[in-house]
A and B are shown apart, each in its own frame.
Chain A
Amino acid sequence: DAGITQSPRHKVTETGTPVTLRCHQTENHRYMYWYRQDPGHGLRLIHYSYGVKDTDKGEVSDGYSVSRSKTEDFLLTLESATSSQTSVYFCAISEPSGAKETQYFGPGTRLLVL
C-alpha cells in the first residue's frame, strides 16, 4: 500500500471558520491531488500539485487554497468554511510514467460544516 496519510480523519467545524486538511506521503511522488467526494458526483478535483510550490486549480477550486512547501506534504485550506463544503476529502498521489500513471489514495477526511 502507498504510504499516504490524511489528518484529521474526521472534523466538525462551524460556518465561517478556516479549516486546514493535511496530506502526507512517504513515496516521494511528484504529483499530489485533493478531491472531494459527494453523492451523485463521484470524485471531483479541487487542486493538484506537480512539484514543490507548483499547484494548479481543478474543477471545483472556489473557496479552497493549497500549499506545498515540501514534497511529502500537501495542505488544503478552506478559507471560510460553508455548509456546501461538507464532504469527504481524498488526497491522492502519482508519479509520471506515461499513460499508466496510477493514482493512489489516502484514507479520506470526513468534514462536517455546521
Chain B
Amino acid sequence: QQPVQSPQAVILREGEDAVINCSSSKALYSVHWYRQKHGEAPVFLMILLKGGEQKGHDKISASFNEKKQQSSLYLTASQLSYSGTYFCGTEVGGGGSNYKLTFGKGTLLTVNP
C-alpha cells in the first residue's frame, strides 16, 4: 500500500522553510527520499532506517518516527534549486524485500525568488 504524502504542493519564497510528511499504514523498515525536477530522473536524497534516526545534509534533513510510521523531510532556508517534486519511498516489514519500494504521489515544491 502506497504511503501518503502531505502536503500535495507547497509554494515558498527563497529562504523560507518547509516540511513534507510521509505516512504509512504499515510498519516501516525504511524510508527513502527522492527529488525529481521536471523532465529529469528522480535523484536520491537520503535513506532512514527504523530506529528513529534523523539524517541530513546541507539544509535538508529528515526524521523517521517508527511509532507513528511516519517520516518528515525538512527543508530550511530554501533555495531556488530546491524546487521539484519530492517523493518518499517506503519499505515495509522486516527488510527482507530490500529492493521493493512503494512510492507516494509526491509533493510539488516551488521556490520563488
To the question of whether A and B form a pair in one complex, the answer is no
Residues of A within 8 A of B (CB): none
Residues of B within 8 A of A (CB): none
